[in-house]
Structure formats: structure tokens, C-alpha cells
Structure 1
Amino acid sequence: MKTTTQTTTKNLKGVWRNRAVLFLSKITKRIIEKKALVTEIRQAQR
């Protein structure tokens, strides 16, 4: 029982880590896209 609980907690931690990484990558992508849009708009206004 001890080993199974340990493995499940490890797996859960890994899953949460993966989810956090995916979430962060999504946020960074959105930020980069927004920055690109802002620069494009500024260039168009010139």
C-alpha cells in the first residue's frame, strides 16, 4: 500500500507539473502575440 500511494502521488505531481508548464507556455505565447500585435499597430500608425 505504501509503495502504491507513493507512486500515485509522484504521478499526480508530474501531471500537475506538466499542466503548469502547459499553462505557462500558453500565457507566454499569448503575451508574445499581444506584443507582436502592438508593434504591428504602432508601425502601421507611423
Structure 2
Amino acid sequence: MRYPQGGGLTAERRALRERIRMQAAESFALGHDNAAIAKELRVSVRSA
């Protein structure tokens, strides 16, 4: 199944997801584990 550009999200929601991704990347760089990052960002461990 193919999704439209941006996954069908509004520009605001895409920006929010990008901020969350950048926060996760910073936490990974600091050596935090998936579970801690997921809890902090309120996402699933799989998403983290």
C-alpha cells in the first residue's frame, strides 16, 4: 500500500513528528536505551 507524500499528515503533524525524531536521535547519541527514550517521548518502544 502506498501513502501520499507526508503519510497523509498535515504540515503541523509532520513538523511535530520531526521534532520527536530529532529528540530521539539526541538521546541515542547520549547513549540512552530505547525504553527510556520511548517513555520520555511518549511513543512505543518499537517506534523509538
| TM-score normalized with structure 1 length | 0.47
| TM-score normalized with structure 2 length | 0.45
Higher share in helix: 1
